[in-house]
Copies of this chain bind each other. A is one copy, B any other.
Amino acid sequence: MPAAFPFVERVRFEGPESRNPFSFRHYDPDAVVDGKPMRDHLRFAACYWHTMRNGLGDPFGMPTALMPWDDGTDALSNCLHRADAFFEFLEKCSIDRFCFHDRDIAPEMGTLRESNAMLDRVAEHFAQRMQASGKKLLWGTACLFAHPRYMAGAGTSPDVRVFAHACAQVKHAMEVTHRLGGDGYVFWGGREGYSSLLNRDMPRDLGHMARLLQMAVDWKSELGFRGALFIEPKPREPSVHQYDFDSATVLGFLREHGLIGKVTLNIETNHATLAAHDMEHELRVAAAAGALGSIDANMGTPNCGWDTDQYPTDYALATRVMEVVLATGGFTNGGLNFDAKRRRESWRPEDLFHGHIAGMDAFAFGLKAAAALRADGRISAALRARYSSWDGDLGRRIEQGGASFNELERAVIDEQVGPPASGAQERLEDTWNAVVWDGRARR
């Protein structure tokens, strides 16, 4: 079989001055930042769905992508060829990991038993290619949203047999993920929500979803799978309201159903912005709960109310993301999965490379800049100073639960209290710019 991407050998680090569009200006996989090679900080993954299965159709138009390696069928042989092209891509683009849905890599057949058998055959091929190439699986997942049976939800379907089917499909997708040595397994519930409140029983839906997750936790244990389980929040699309709206909503749900600590979050930039948050907010909410699991690295176009899933080419955004990642001590089971697709006009195979390269360089820059911000220390020092009054006796007692309204009233009733120190946001933004844009971070 001829190369799928004959126009490129291998994308390598050539430094900031490089004008070779098939090179990295920042991502130098083995270069050490803060005591760890870049590749281990960033744990980049390509996703199978956008990279191999997205023909770039949209609700108003047909596919445009040129994919000469793919004959467009669901035949096993085509599934295997496609996988080969994918591993060629990973190799040439210097990406160490990947993610997949069960139905991305192998088709849905007449029954689940047949679908499982097909999936197993393709997965066996993946295992061989992984073995040969050293590429790893970041996470796997089951597609519980494309088939018509899931039109009204999978874990929240009003039809109990659809729910059962979803569970069975997850069971097998978890097995395959485990077999391929995945570091995690993701739940994204695009259909777990509603189109209208007129025909949904929200509390019952949420109870069902919790049951599915609890059974997954049990199955993970039975299976001996040691990877992480992740939920991916998104506020809406395709549903009008998705129950996993944002990080705070998912964490509340996990707490309510005794799942906190058992399931963590896979947070996507474009989902954060669709929920009217910014990505840094979502990451910090998850981090505060010890639940920042993994990241779907992409970005959206402001003002577009749907998931544009663009490559994350914004260096400032990547820096903010990596600040939180470094603050939590870095990824354990998670990584940076490029859940991103080319624009529909970027129909050449070359564009697959340009998107990933731009994204990888953004995050490599972001890693260096975030490390520089930590080393610089001015911003964190300002933060500590701002809260320093809480480090005294009164503050500690309050934080430990030892104070009462009576005591606090006595402390202030005859005092002039306030104002607090200036927030100095403008100065801090300037300091951030100084370190990130002007500093030595990126060199």
In the assembled complex, the Cα of A359 lies from the Cα of B432 at a distance in Å of 13
Are B345 and A152 neighbours in the complex by a CB distance under 8 Å? yes
Q: Total interface residues on A, using CB and 8 Å?
A: 162
Is A30 among interface residues, defined by CB-CB distance under 8 A?
Answer: no
In chain A, positions 268-309 with a C-beta closer than 8 Å to chain B are 273-278, 280-281, 284-285, 288-289, 301-306, 308
Contacts of A198 in B (CB 8 A): 379, 383, 425, 428-429, 432
Residue A74 at the B interface, CB < 8 A?
no
A61 at the interface (CB under 8 A from B): yes
* A302 lies within 8 A of B304 (CB): no
Closest residue of chain B to A276, judged by CB? Answer: B303
Q: How far is the CB of A104 from chain B (nearest CB, A)?
A: 13
Question: Restricting to A26-67, which residues have a CB under 8 Å from any CB of B?
Answer: 26, 58-64
Contact A302-B275, Cβ < 8 Å, known A167-B408, A208-B398: no
Q: Of residues A284, A383, A408, which shows the largest number of chain B Cβ atoms within 10 Å of its Cβ?
A: A408
Contacts of A285 in B (CB 8 A): 202
Could you tell me the distance in whole angstroms from the C-beta of A191 to the nearest C-beta in chain B? 8
Selected contact of A345 from candidates B168, B252, B423, CB within 8 Å: B423
Residue of B nearest to A223 (CB): B405
Chain B residues whose CB sits within 8 angstroms of the CB of A438 once the complex forms: 16-17, 25-26, 442
The listed residue (B278, B347, B426) touching A151 by CB distance below 8 A is B347
Query: With A and B bound together, what is the CA distance between A195 and B346 in angstroms?
Result: 11
| Known contacts A148-B62, A248-B248, A303-B276: A161-B417 contact under CB 8 Å | yes
